């Protein structure tokens, strides 16, 4: 059902910042049930979220292009069992990302 709100109690909240990386980098090993990503407001360009080997989209057909987050953008909540399932990459090494993980 659209706009349905799930009422769940989480036992822990973890948040952190990941330094920018112009090459694919794996997120830390943090068990969780849901995670949200936020691109730092001060980022000069985009950061991308994806799986192993995530790449910056380049107008070619591939299976690794990440989902873009512009400066200040937030992702939806992703249900996942560990933050390390995700990888990130930026257009530049100055593109940082924040995470909020609920367990």
What mean pLDDT, rounded, does the chain reach?
94
Strands (DSSP E) contained in the chain are 13-18, 25-26, 34-39, 47-50, 67-69, 78-79, 87-90, 97-102
User: Is residue 7 very low, low, confident or very high in pLDDT (cuts 50, 70, 90)?
Assistant: confident
Mean pLDDT of 66-89: 98
Whole-number pLDDT of residue 59: 92
Assess if CATH 2.60.120.770 describes domain 13-102.
yes
- State the pTM of this model: 0.90
Secondary structure (3-state) at 44: coil
pLDDT at residue 2, rounded to an integer: 59
């Amino acid at each position: 059902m659209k706009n349905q709100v799930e009422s769940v109690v989480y036992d822990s909240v973890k948040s952190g910042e990941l330094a920018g990386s112009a090459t694919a980098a794996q997120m830390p090993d943090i068990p969780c049930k849901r995670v949200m990503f936020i691109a730092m407001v001060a980022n000069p360009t985009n950061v991308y979220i994806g799986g192993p080997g995530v790449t910056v989209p380049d107008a070619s057909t591939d299976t690794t292009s990440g989902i873009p987050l512009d400066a200040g953008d937030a992702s939806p909540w992703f249900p996942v069992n560990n933050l390390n399932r995700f990888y990130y990459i930026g257009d530049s090494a100055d593109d940082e990302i924040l995470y909020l993980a609920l367990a």
